[in-house]
Chain A
Amino acid sequence: MKTKRTIIMLCLLGAALPAAAFDLGSVDWKKAAETVKKVQRANAEIDEPQEITLGDGIASNLLGAAPLLDNPAVQQYVNRIGRWLTLQTERPDLPWQFGVLDDNDVNAFAAPGGYVFITKGLLAQMNSEAELAGVLAHEISHVLRKHHLQAIKKGARAELLSDLANDAIRSNNADPRFTKLVSAGTEVYARGLDKKDEFEADRMGVVIAARGGYDPYGLPAVLQTLQSINPTDSNVALMFKTHPAIADRLSQLDREMPGYFANQENQPDLAPRFFQALGAGKK
Chain B
Amino acid sequence: MKNVIAICLLFGLAPAAWAGGYAYTIRPTELKAKPFSDAQTLATLAPRVRVEVLGRQASWTQVKADTRSGWVKMLSLQLEKSGQSRRGDNGLGALFNVATTGKSGSTVTTGIRGLSEEQLKNSRPDPQALQAAKRYAVGRAEAQRYAEEGKLSAHSVGYMSGGQ
CB pairs A–B below 8 angstroms (11 shown): A60-B130, A62-B120, A64-B129, A65-B113, A67-B108, A95-B137, A120-B11, A127-B18, A207-B160, A213-B147, A255-B163
Q: Mark B120-138, 1 if CB is under 8 A from A, else 0.
A: 1101111101101110111
Determine the residue in chain A with the shortest Cβ distance to B6: A279
Tell me, yes or no, whether A72 is within 8 Å of chain B by CB.
yes
- A210–B159 Cα distance when bound, in Å, is 10
Contact across chains for B78 and A233 when beta carbons are under 8 A apart: no
Tell me, yes or no, whether A68 is within 8 Å of chain B by CB.
yes
CB-CB under 8 A from A76, the residues of chain B are: 136, 138
Tell me, yes or no, whether B13 is within 8 Å of chain A by CB.
yes
CB-CB under 8 A from A127, the residues of chain B are: 4, 16, 18-19, 56
Contact across chains for A61 and B125 when beta carbons are under 8 A apart: yes
CB-CB under 8 A from A215, the residues of chain B are: 58
- A241–B89 Cα distance when bound, in Å, is 19
- A99–B130 Cα distance when bound, in Å, is 10
CB-CB under 8 A from A238, the residues of chain B are: 115-117, 120
Tell me, yes or no, whether A268 is within 8 Å of chain B by CB.
yes
B160 → chain A closest CB, angstroms: 5
- Chain A residues with CB under 8 Å of chain B are 56-57, 59-68, 70, 72, 75-76, 79-84, 86-88, 92, 95-99, 101-105, 107, 119-121, 123-127, 129, 182, 186-187, 189-190, 199-200, 203-204, 206-207, 210-217, 220-221, 224-225, 227-230, 233-235, 237-238, 241, 247, 250-251, 253-258, 260-261, 263-270, 273, 275-276, 278-279, 281-282
Contact across chains for A104 and B77 when beta carbons are under 8 A apart: no
Tell me which of B82, B125, B130 contacts A230 (CB under 8 A).
Answer: B82
A82 → chain B closest CB, angstroms: 8
Contact across chains for B123 and A61 when beta carbons are under 8 A apart: yes
CB-CB under 8 A from B115, the residues of chain A are: 65-66, 101, 103, 105, 107, 119, 189, 238
Tell me which of B133, B142, B159 contacts A59 (CB under 8 A).
Answer: B133
Given contacts A59-B130, A97-B133, A103-B114, contact A84 B86 (CB under 8 A): no
Tell me which of B3, B79, B97, B155 contacts A210 (CB under 8 A).
Answer: B155
From B59, B124, B139, B163, residue with most partner A Cβ within 10 Å? B59
- A77–B159 Cα distance when bound, in Å, is 26
Tell me which of B11, B56, B96, B125 contacts A221 (CB under 8 A).
Answer: B56
Contact across chains for A63 and B129 when beta carbons are under 8 A apart: yes
- A258–B108 Cα distance when bound, in Å, is 48
Tell me which of B18, B137, B162 contacts A225 (CB under 8 A).
Answer: B18
Given contacts A107-B115, A186-B123, A230-B81, contact A212 B147 (CB under 8 A): yes
Given contacts A83-B138, A127-B18, A211-B157, contact A56 B130 (CB under 8 A): yes
CB-CB under 8 A from A206, the residues of chain B are: 160
CB-CB under 8 A from A267, the residues of chain B are: 58, 155
A218 → chain B closest CB, angstroms: 10
Contact across chains for B159 and A87 when beta carbons are under 8 A apart: no
Given contacts A63-B133, A64-B129, contact A233 B89 (CB under 8 A): yes
Tell me, yes or no, whether B67 is within 8 Å of chain A by CB.
no
CB-CB under 8 A from A105, the residues of chain B are: 114-116
B25 → chain A closest CB, angstroms: 13
Contact across chains for A228 and B82 when beta carbons are under 8 A apart: yes
